[in-house]
Amino acid sequence: MPRHKDYLPHGVIPAALLPFNEDLSIDEASYRSHLRDIAAVQGISAITINAHASEVASCSFDEQQRVLAITQDEIGARLPVVNGIYSEGPFEAARLAKMAQAGGASALLVFPTGVYTFGQRPEMAVDYFKRIADASDLPLIVFQYPLAGGQGYPLATLTRILDAVPTVRAIKDWSANPQLHERQIRVLQARTPEVVVLTTHSAWLLSSLVLGCKGLLSGSGSVIADLQAQLYRAVQANDLATARKLNDRIWPTAEVFYTEPWVDMHNRMKEALVLLGRLPRAVVRPPLMKLPAAEIERIRRALIAAGLLSETAAAKREKTPA
């Protein structure tokens, strides 16, 4: 299996969606096409799979293994693959980590366990990452959730994880707190070795990037990877004028994707790809449900406002039978 050795998470990392057939099975042909679309974007550094964007909570172990195999077959020789580790407990997390390493993944994105919604102790978090690191020597990315929900790691706990588990090389920061976000950027990226902060604050991406993140990892990259890559380059070049113009195009999509209920964010992205002619259907697995027509219309208007879809193309697509 292809693996990009010594890969360190950085740059623009889209998180791929996972298309389904009407019977809720994985639509492998559409998934391959989706991967090729993303991989063709200039300026991305890796692709993430088996994560929120791919509805990992509804996928079995075997399905996650198959998703990784398809991804490696389709684009693994071209780009590093970041594989999500989504589990309620450490034993399944370790099993997933072993599977991902054997399947050629180049890094692991570690989700917090849902147990933390009842509270957490630092020792619990450290032990969880140690068990994953014992199962795989791949670089780990900590998925940092908002502290208010109980699943985020206080900075003191995060520091203990980093001290105890040297294979943690990055965090995907969804702290949803600009002050904490900047503090984590300053503290973690000043460590030796550096721990990279990848933002996933896609609803305020420009604001987040200018604070100094070394990359971004986002489900909306499944739709707007090119705009994200251009924005990241502009910010890295300190070209604020260009960055603001690009942000003006990204903003309509952020407004429509990241609205309540947040659980539908990737559902909306699937509908966007159907409107753009890049997916044949926007089937999601329960508990997600098909979006109402009015919301799909708002997505269509946002894509037009972003310059991604013309009025003419949108009208033609509406008239074309599915």
Residues 268-306 have pLDDT tens digits of: 999 999 999 999 999 999 999 999 999 999 999 999 999
| pLDDT tens-digit readout, 269-278 | 999 999 999 9
* Residue 153 near residue 142 (C-beta atoms within 8 A): yes
- Domain assignment present for 35: yes
Residue 274 belongs to a domain: no
DSSP state of 263: G
* pLDDT value at residue 1: 63
Residues 138 and 105 sit within 8 Å (Cβ to Cβ): yes
Q: Is the pLDDT of residue 311 over 90?
A: no
Rounded CA separation 177/71 (Å): 33
Q: Is residue 142 part of a domain?
A: yes
Q: For Cα atoms 19, 24, 28, give the angle at the middle one, nearest 5 degrees.
A: 40
Residue 98's CATH number = 3.20.20.70
Q: Where are the alpha helices (DSSP H) in the chain?
A: 28-39, 61-75, 90-102, 122-135, 155-164, 178-188, 205-209, 221-236, 240-257, 265-275, 293-305, 311-319
Q: Is residue 99 part of a domain?
A: yes
Confidence of residue 318 (pLDDT cuts 50, 70, 90): low
Q: DSSP labels for 285-296?
A: -TTS-PPPHHHH
The Cα 242–Cα 245 span in angstroms is 5
Structural domain including 231 reads 11-239
How many structural domains compose the chain? 1
Residue 321 pLDDT: 53
pLDDT tens, residue by residue, 12-36: 999 999 999 999 999 999 999 999 9
Residue 49 maps to a domain:
yes
pLDDT of residue 6: 82
Closest CA to 208 of 229, 180, 189, 187: 180
> Is residue 191 one of the residues assigned to a domain?
yes
Q: Let me know if residue 73 belongs to a domain.
A: yes
Asked if residue 57 belongs to a domain, the reply is: yes
